[in-house]
Amino acid sequence: MTALHHVPDTTTRPSPKASAAQAIRLVAEREITTRAKTRSFVVSTVLLMVVIIAGAIVINLLAGGEDVEKVAVVGQPAVVTESIVAIGDSAGTTIATEPVDTIEQARSRVTDGDVAAALVPGETPGSYVILSKDGADPAVEGPIRTAVSQAGIADALAARGVDAASLPAVDISVTQLQPAHPDEGERLVIALVGVVLLITAIMMGGTMVAVGVVEEKTSRVVELLLATIKPLHLLWGKIIGIGTVALAQVVLLGATALIAGTATGILTLPGAAVGMFAAVIAWFVLGFLFFASLYAATGAIVSRQEELSSASFPLTVLAMAVMYAGIFGVQALDSTLIKVLSWIPPFSAALMPMRIASGDTDTLQIVLTFLIMAVVCALATWVAARIYQRSILRTGSRLGWGEVLKLAR
């Protein structure tokens, strides 16, 4: 009699439901591990770091030398040439005078572009001519005119027996009604770079979220995942995981830029730079969360990747509008339009860091706009979650936006 052997039961049984925190953590870890180890992510990150470092070096080399405007002078006393240099320095323009022997030599120097301008005697005694190639720079012409006028006045007073040095000096002071911030330029550059990185992360990270949702949906992997994980937990895990990768990339690139800028002398106030970078990161998190959740919902309403581009087109247009608002808005941060847009999400994610950088806002506005952006992000994620939960298992033709809005109710 043949002995009966026990055959183990190998039927796959669904594992018990994981807790919300555990499920989200597991999905996020899977996304982080998968995305961070891809060759394209590593190569693109390294290349961007190299570009940032090389850019800082090139900018430092181009801006390293002090601009010196050369002025050729024919037959002028030393007091005039010295006065041109002194007046230029007081106006913020470095001028070096170059004595030449003849007017023809001065003309040649100007024509060849060796000097910015030349001061030569005129046809009548006491007259002067400023030679320039295609129009003298006011920063150069102004000191020349002032120096010649001062010399003429001194000569006229001396002819009448008056020593110009004995005249009382005129006391002129400057009062700034709106004092400039010495680090404003650096802070604005950091904020503008943050906008570019935010849009890059949105376009890349948001697309990764949407593509990941579609891939799981078309391959039916999502059905296996939802056997143990709730749709909402799967959505949050994907957003947090891919968002963490995007944020880590931004922090790494930002830190590289800060270190390179400080090392090359482009950033002279690292304390202000670090504080501005922290503000950029805070707004980056909200901006990415807003778009990533909507991209995830977009991925859930389509059944094929070919449909994803057209479905996500409205989000792409909105992201580009945010980017252009930041790029062009930096030139008019005090305009009514930019001030109004900075209160409207998601534009506030790009514009408020710039207004903070320029000092064109106060603490109350910063807190209120941040809270408004946070509330809108919460609303966007709630709507996206409802769409995701009700669409992720649906197959067939792409849902219209009218049907999508009904799903969100």
Chain segment 8-28, per-residue pLDDT in tens: 444 334 445 557 888 888 888
Share of the chain above pLDDT 70, in %: 83
Say which residue, 17 or 67, is predicted with more confidence: 67
Distances (CA, A) of 197 to 131, 222, 354: 48, 31, 14
Rounded to an integer, the average pLDDT of 332-338 is 87
As a whole number of Å, the end-to-end CA separation of the chain is 68
Are the C-beta atoms of 291 and 202 separated by less than 8 Å?
A: yes
300 with 218: CB under 8 angstroms?
A: no
Main-chain dihedrals φ then ψ at residue 16, nearest 5 degrees: -65, 150
Q: Select, from the ranges 127-131, 372-376, 378-382, the one with the highest average predicted confidence (pLDDT).
A: 372-376
Q: What's the whole-number mean pLDDT along residues 334-363?
A: 89
Residue 403 has pLDDT above 80, yes or no: no
Give the pLDDT score at 164: 65
> Which of 31, 36, 140, 129 has its CA nearest to residue 93?
140
Q: What is the pLDDT of residue 393?
A: 65
Residue 166 DSSP one-character state: G
Element (H, E) at 249: helix 231-264
Q: How sure is the predictor about 408, in pLDDT bands with cuts at 50, 70 and 90?
A: low
356: pLDDT strictly greater than 90: no
Reference 119, options 152, 73, 81; nearest CA is: 73
Q: Which pLDDT value is given to residue 374?
A: 93
Distance (Å, rounded) from C-alpha 91 to C-alpha 86? 9
Q: Which of 68, 164, 80 lies closest to 121 in space, CA to CA?
A: 80
Q: Which three-class secondary structure state does DSSP give residue 100?
A: strand
The answer, yes or no, to whether residue 228 has pLDDT greater than 90, is no
What does the pLDDT read at residue 180?
57
Residue 1 pLDDT: 40
Residue with tokens 């006065």: 83
Cis peptide bond prior to 345, omega within 30° of 0 = no
Task: For residue range 185-215, list pLDDT tens digits in order.
Answer: 777 777 887 788 788 888 888 888 888 888 7
341 pLDDT band, cuts 50/70/90, is very high
Q: Report DSSP letters for 23-59, one per residue.
A: HHHHHHHHHHHHHHT-HHHHHHHHHHHHHHHHHHHHH
Q: Is the pLDDT of residue 388 over 90?
A: no
pLDDT above 90: percentage of residues in the chain: 8
Give phi and psi for 181, each to the nearest 5. Answer: -90, 125
Q: Looking at 201-315, which runs of residues are DSSP E strands? A: none
User: CB–CB of 119/76 below 8 Å?
Assistant: yes
What digits encode the pLDDT tens for the residues 118-159? Answer: 888 887 777 788 888 777 788 888 888 888 888 878 777 777
pLDDT on residue 390: 76
Q: Whole-model pTM?
A: 0.65
For every residue of 195-211, DSSP letters joined together read HHHHHHHIIIIIHHHHH
Between the alpha carbon of residue 335 and those of residues 147, 239, 341, 359, 365, the distances in Å are 40, 35, 10, 14, 16
- Categorize the per-residue pLDDT at 175 as very low, low, confident or very high, splitting at 50, 70 and 90: low
Q: What angle do CA 67, 69, 74 make, to 5 degrees?
A: 160
Distance CA 171, CA 273 (A): 38
Inter-residue contact 232 to 385 (CB < 8 Å): yes
Spatial separation of the C-alpha atoms in residues 282 and 285, rounded to whole Å: 5
- pLDDT at residue number 270: 60
Distance CA 188, CA 175 (A): 25
Q: Residue 338: in which H helix or E strand, if any? A: helix 336-341
SS3 of residue 398 by DSSP: coil
Long-range contacts for 336-341 (Cβ within 8 Å, ≥24 apart)? none
Q: What is the mean pLDDT of residues 38-64?
A: 82
Chain centroid to CA 138: 32
Chain centre distance of CA 265: 19
